[in-house]
Each structure stands twice: as structure tokens, then as C-alpha cells.
Structure 1
Amino acid sequence: MSSKEGFNHLAVNLFEKARTLPKIEWIDLATFYDPRSTVLVTTPSANKQFSPFCHNFNIVERINITGGDAAYIEDLQKKRSGAEVMYTVGGGRAIDLARLLAYTWNMDITAVPTIISTDSPFVDCTGVREDGCVHYIKSKKADRVFLDFSLLKKSPDALHAGGAGDVLSIYTALPDWKLASDRQVAKADEPYSIAVADQAQGILDYLMANRSEIHTMSQRGLESLVKALAMEVELCNLYGNSRPEEGGEHFFAYAIEPRLPHTTHGELVGLGILVTSLIQYQKLQPVLEFMNTIGMNYRPKGFTRAILDETLRGMPSYVNRHGLRYSVWNEYCYNKKQVSEILDALNS
């Protein structure tokens, strides 16, 4: 059995035996019907993509997600829905907030992603933006995730490619996790485990071994991406938190997000992976080649030298101020020359 076949075999076994994930189904929405009264949580753009299938649902209420900060979320939670079930259609933010509403309102929820840009459809927490950072609160795991290839193909391939970020982040998260352990500053809920780290590395290897399939953005390619994300979430659930896949790359993404407000999570994390890799003195070429192969955007629109410089200068105080887990950014010393080196690497 080849290395790639071995990774694929592992992925199928873990994916099918997953115990902490929602039920994930590839379906044809054109032939699906649900007569129950439904509240649809979506965004204007996602609602437009979903419109050909709306007649198959008894939609009695729509909630369009337009924000994501704490005040906006608090206002949403005060509302109530008289519908029997909730469906959420869209990308990471719409699904994130819908799962929180389903948790608050104690409703059955089905997630229907229009883009695979994050692991949001598979998790049981919601990111809340407050004071320039993202923190996570308990929400509901979706009861089901419906994946319709015809719906997913309505979104640009580059947006789907961004979904690899929440698995590719293992590349920088594992060294940060080990650093915290070596410095004896790891929190009580993040003891370093070689076994868990090895499993995380295996999931990353699976993702990278399937780069050619993912590049095609065929149904098989998207299935490979979904399996990688599902395995990452399953591993983190079993470990107890996201430490094996979340480190300095996510913290950099959180820090730069207010300066690039109209950028997807995947693009920000992709940029964060590359920048953090360089700060960790890791080889950049493996992840850079992977991103280029699958068409993952790591240079968000509006990204400039000034934004990079400002973000780098503030990283040590940022991670300390927000109490983020220990990472290379806690030990970072700003170096103006390094800004040029990072930009050169991103442009290579």
C-alpha cells in the first residue's frame, strides 16, 4: 500500500467511525424535502445561491447574518423562533452563529455549507469577536451537515481552498504546543502528548498527500478536504480542545483581522501559517507549495507592508493582553528586516 493509499484508508476509517462529529451526508438538495416549519439562518449572498432549493423547505422565517461581534450576537440571542427546526446556509460565520442560536433556543439544526472555508460546520463552539480578538463560547454541534456538490460549485474554488487552513495550521500549531511544554508554561488543559501530536501530523500528511485531488475541486477533491477537516475536529474533540491545530498562526489571523475586515477565515489563517512558519524558522516551501497547488489565497485583498509591520510590532502585547495560549509570539522581538524577508517569501 502506498503512503497516499495508507493515509486515505486511515481517513475513511476515522471519518466513518467518528463519534463526536455531526452526521455528514452528501446529498442532492433538488430531491430533498422537509415539510417542517423552518427558520433559515443565512447571508444575502448564500441565500441567493440556495434559492433554487428553497421550495423544498417550509421556510417561515429568515435571519440574515450581518455581523459577528459580541453586541450583535447578544441581540440575536434575545430573539426567539416559533419554527420547528433550523437550517443554516452559508459560510463559516453564518453557520457559527446559527449553531449558537440553536444552542440558545434548543433547536434541531442542519448546516448546509456553501463554501468549505473553515471547520465551522463540524464543531460545537462559536467564535465571538470582541476587543479586536476572537474567543470561543459553547454552542451546539450541528445535528447534520448536508453537502451538495452543485451548491458548493457555485462558490469560487479559492474560497473552498481556504478551508485547508484549519488543517494546515497543524504545521505551526504543533511547534507552538511543544514550545509551551518545553518552557513549562502550558496550561492545565493542554498537556503535551506525543501520541496526539503524531495523530495531528498524520492528518496534516493526509491533507498534503491529497493536494492533486483538492486542486481539481471535484466532488472527490472536496470530499478529501472535508475528511481532513472532520478528522482534525474529531482529534481536537477527543483531546479536549483545539491546541493540536491552533497556535500562533491563528493568533496572527485574529490580530490582523480588524485591519482586513472583509477577508475570509481561511485566507487569514493561510497568511498566519506562512508568517508564523518564518518566525519559527521552519521550512516554508512545503506549505507554500501546497497552498499554490490547491489555489489557496494567502495574500488577502488590502494586505500591505504597513499592515504587516503594524501587526508584527503588536503581536507580543496582543497575545499577552488577550491571554492566548503560549506560542512563538510570546517570545517574538520585532525586527524590521524580517518584514522584508516575509514579504519576499510571500511574493516568491
Structure 2
Amino acid sequence: MTRRTKAGSRAASLSTMSDIQLSLKATKKTKTIFILTYTNQEFTTKHKQYPDRVDIGRPKIKELDEKQSLAHPIDIEARLLLANNRISDRLYNNSSLLFSLKYSIRTQRSVCLMTTIWPLPRIDIQDLSQIDEQRPTALLTNERSWSRVSSLINLPLVIQAEPPNADLNLLRQLSEGLPEQVEVIYAVGGGLVADIGKYIGQMRDIPVVIIPTALSVDGFFTPLAAVREAGSVHYVDTKPAERLIIDWDVIKDAPRRLRGAAIVELLTIVTGLLDWRYAADRNKNTASTRYLPWAASLMAGIAQQAFKIAEGVGEGRIESLSTLLDLICTEVRLTNQLGHTRPQEGSEQYFAYAIEPKVSRGRGVPYADLVGPGILIAAALHGQDVNPIRETLLSAGTRLSELEPDDIIDTLHELPDYVVKHNLPYSILNELEITTERARELLSITKLDR
């Protein structure tokens, strides 16, 4: 099977050929984009001038040897972009430019394609007093959140629940006990009630409306519910909420430690990308979670912007909080497109999963209190300078002193076995050899020992 590009080139299907010879021609009047995903170790080019990567708007020219090794025994997405006036004019001195690439395919692996790419929920920015809900409603909330907004919202309540945690058995009981007359679920508060609302909504096929009282997690926007089972966090596919309502007056008046805590979700990209690449270098990613440089680049850009807005988020500036909302939406859209969360979920979150049972005592623990320290530990394990990350977390209002040093040390000792036991995606923790001395050194480096 073949397909023709706009420039008339023909590309052979990888499913039918083990060795492929490709020819691309381009003139100054031609704009050719050719995209190919392959698994290989090396390629050969007949020309030493080659745009080695896509850098939107500024493709770079690199001098290559006749044989250039990629040194990556992983899935790689190669994008050759030949665009008028974007590549050096010297490439167009001849009437045509011939690229001949020979791909040596070492193995064939089937990739399970997604059947659904979920959108974001509908997001309404409005005063909560403007809500006009007529459907019989089940309310999921907690005492603190509801006390802040109950005077603003008039809902036709059938039942109200204040679940203390996201234990899977509890969620099943709540779902089974939902009255038949309920036509919509409102989740008012933080990530805990949002996850529970989405889970019950999925089980009972009922729409969910989420009202965050702080921008504390990206789970408000995702088609997943994080549930607790057997001492770890598992993600259950749901679907996005029907609607998300943001009232900036409510958000900005939230406690500083919660108001913009979802910035931690964006900073996990720093260590998530390190683990994703770490696994790729060792050929440990699955076919469906293969390392994609273009996705890594986009996610890194999101994280970079998070560093810039952290201080404003901590101070409760609406402009910064609005940018935080935009960045979260962009991050969720991208992970929805990829069909997985590897670019922002790695050893920092596995640490949080492992330590949560030690500190929760049956109650939900603010996500940022667990993952913030996890980011610092993961960054230190990867040999990164943790000080800029620590300063950014603190400026955004993240608490970094809520975990006892002894609990951190115990968790570090458990992590190598924990990630294997729970079959978590490969990360630096899979090769971690931790001693008490090394654990205390990590505490000192991250300043989590005080």
C-alpha cells in the first residue's frame, strides 16, 4: 500500500516492507511535508545538508556524516519539512533537491490506535449565582468547600454526600446507592469530588458538572478518575464532565496553598519528561507510549510558562490564574491527543502514590502536598538543580514541609519494589539503589529535611 504526498512522492507502507528507499524532490516553488513513524537504529543520506528536525518556522541545517547514527533503539517520529523560504537558499541552487533515505527496520511492532480522542468539557466563566439548574441533582462536596459557595448556588438537591477519599470500594457503594431520580451530578470543591463525580457519572451514565473552588488539579478537565485501590492510584477511563464552571471571585479567595495548586501538574512535566526519555533510552516504553520529540517539546514549553506565572499565581492575580487555566487546558488537550500521560507522570507521582497511604489516614490529602516534594526528589535523582524548581513551587503557594522526613525515607526505600509491584511505567525508580545514607542526602539536597 502506498500514498502520495502533495509533491508527488510515494511512500511505501512499513507494514509491507522491511527496507525502504525514499526519494523526495523539492523546488523553490514546492512545499513538501512528509511524515513517517518508524523503529530503527540508523539511517543513510546521500547529502550532507539535511534539516535534521522540525523547529516550526526555523528548521536547522546540520552537517552530517554519510552515515549518521540516531543512537536510539526506540520509536522515533521523523518529520522532513521542506518549505519555501524557510530553508537556506543554498539548498535550492539546483533545480531539485534529492533526499534518499534508507530506513533499516529491525522489528515490526503493532501499535494500538486510540478509538477516541476526548475533548475538554465545556468551560463557562461566570458568577455561580447565575447557575439555573432544573434537573434533580446529586451533590458531591466537602464541608469547607460547600460552606464557601452554598449561599451562591441554588440546586434542586435529591441527595448530598461528602466522601472522605477515593477508595474504589467506597466509589462503587456511592454509585450503587445513587437514587434513580437523579439526572445530574454536581461536584463542588477539589480534585477528590471531581474524580468521584466522574466515576459515578460513568457508572450510571449521568452527566457531571464540576465547580472548582480552587484551581488545584488538572483532573477537573480530564476524561479520567484517579481511584485508590490496593495501596496505589489507578486511573479509570470515564469521560469529560459535561460542564465546568469557573467563578474567578471564588477561585481567588481560596487559600493560597490551594488557589493555584494545579501549577504543580505543569511542573511535573519537568521530571515526567526526564523519566519518559530515560525509559526511551533503555527501550522500556511501550509501543503506545513511545517517546515523541515533538510532544516532549510542546510539553516543555508549557512547563516553561508555568515557571513564569508562579509568583502571580501565588499572589492570586486573576491574569496569572487565567493563564494557568489556559496552560492546564493545553496540557490536557495534548495528553488526550497522545492517549497517555507519560510526559507529565513519572517518578514524582509514583512517590506521591507510595507515600499517600502513610500520611492520609483515610482522608484525602491535597495533591500538591505530596507531588511537590516528589518533583524535587525526582529532579535530584536525575541530577538536576532543584533550587529553581523549589523556589517556583514556594512562590506559587505550594507547601513543601507537610511530609515527615522519616516517612520520606521509608518511602524511598520502598519505591523500587513499589513501581514493579504496581506495574507503573518505567522510570529512574526502576534502577534506584537507595541506602539510608543516600536517602538522607536526597532530603538535604531538596531541603525536605527541615
Which structure dedicates a bigger proportion of its chain to strand? 2
Q: Which one of 176, 186, 194 corresponds to residue 285 of structure 2?
A: 186
Q: Which of 87-96 and 225-234 deviates more?
A: 225-234
Match of 1:126 in 2: 225
Q: CA deviation at 1:145?
A: 0.7
Q: How far apart in 1 are the matches of 2:370 and 2:260?
A: 12
Given that 2:195 and 2:227 are in contact with CA atoms closer than 8 Å, whether structure 1 keeps it comes out as: no
Instruction: Tell me the distance in 2 between the aligned counterparts of 1:222 and 1:338.
Output: 38
How many Å apart are 1:92 and its aligned residue?
0.4
* Contact map agreement 1:91 1:113 (CA 8 A) in 2: yes
Q: C-alpha deviations, 1:59-83, integer Å up to 9, x for none?
A: 2221222231121112112123312
Q: Does 1:333 align with 2:433?
A: yes
Aligned length: 328
Q: Quote the offset at 1:154 in angstroms.
A: 4.1
d(CA) in 1 for partners of 2:370, 2:399:
9
Distance 1:161 1:288 in 2: 16
| Alignment partners' CA distance in 1, 2:447 and 2:294 | 36
The separation in 1 between residues aligned to 2:285 and 2:426, in whole angstroms, is 7
CA-atom RMSD in angstroms? 1.7
**2: CA distance, partners of 1:251 / 1:316:** 10
Report 1:167-246 matches (<5 A): 167-246=266-345
Distance in 1 between the 2:354 and 2:124 partners?
35
Letter of the structure 2 residue corresponding to residue 105 of structure 1:
R
Q: Which amino acid aligns with 1:73?
A: L
* Corresponding residue SS for 2:300: helix
Tell me by how many angstroms 1:132 deviates. Answer: 1.1
Structure with more of its chain in helix, by fraction: 1
Match of 2:240 among 141, 145, 154: 141
Asked if 1:299 corresponds to 2:401, the answer is yes
Distance 1:182 1:347, change over 3 A: closer
Deviation of the 1:280 alpha carbon? 1.0
User: What is the deviation of 1:220?
Assistant: 1.9
Q: Distance in 1 between matches of 2:260 and 2:348?
A: 17
The answer to whether 1:264 aligns with 2:402 is no
Counterpart of 1:62? 160
Conservation of the 8 A alpha-carbon contact between 1:167 and 1:204: yes
Structure whose alpha-carbon radius of gyration is higher: 2
Equivalent position of 1:7 in the other structure:
none
CA distance in structure 1 between the aligned counterparts of 2:405 and 2:391, rounded to whole angstroms: 22
* 1:289 is aligned to 2:391: yes
> What does the per-residue CA deviation read over 1:77-105, in whole Å, with 9 as the maximum and x for residues that have no partner?
21233122221101101010001111111
User: What residue number does 2:423 align with?
Assistant: 323
Do residues 74 (structure 1) and 176 (structure 2) align? no
Question: What's the secondary structure of 1:326's corresponding residue?
Answer: coil
Give me the whole-angstrom Cα distance separating, in 2, the residues matched to 1:25 and 1:345.
43
Q: Percent identity?
A: 30
Per mean C-alpha deviation after superposition, the further-off stretch among 200-209 and 29-38 is: 29-38
Partner SS for 1:174: helix
Structure 1 gap ranges (5+)? 1-17
Tell me, what secondary structure is at the counterpart of 1:35?
coil
Q: In structure 1, what residue type is equivalent to 2:382?
A: Q
- CA distance in structure 1 between the partners assigned to 2:227 and 2:133 by the alignment: 31
Q: Give how far 1:221 is off.
A: 2.2
Q: Determine the C-alpha separation between the residues in 2 that align with 1:286 and 1:147.
A: 30
Q: For 1:129 and 1:343, how far apart are their aligned partners in 2?
A: 27
- 2:17 corresponds in structure 1 to none
Aligned residue identity for 2:384? Q
Give the TM-score of the pair, scaled to structure 2. 0.70
Structure 1-normalised TM-score? Answer: 0.90
Structure-1 separation of matches of 2:300 and 2:214: 25
Give the structure 1 partner of residue 380 of structure 2: 278
CA distance in 2: counterparts of 1:294 and 1:154, whole angstroms: 15
1:275-319 Cα deviation digits (max 9, x unpaired)? 11111111212211211222211222xx22211111111110000
Shift of 1:19: 7.2
SS in 1 for 2:150: helix
Residues 173 and 270 of structure 1: CA distance in aligned 2, closer, same or farther (over 3 Å): same
For residue 39 of structure 1, report the CA deviation from its aligned partner.
1.6
**Residue range with higher mean Cα deviation, 154-163 or 308-317:** 154-163
Find the aligned partners of 1:157 and 1:212 in 2 and give their Cα distance.
Answer: 11
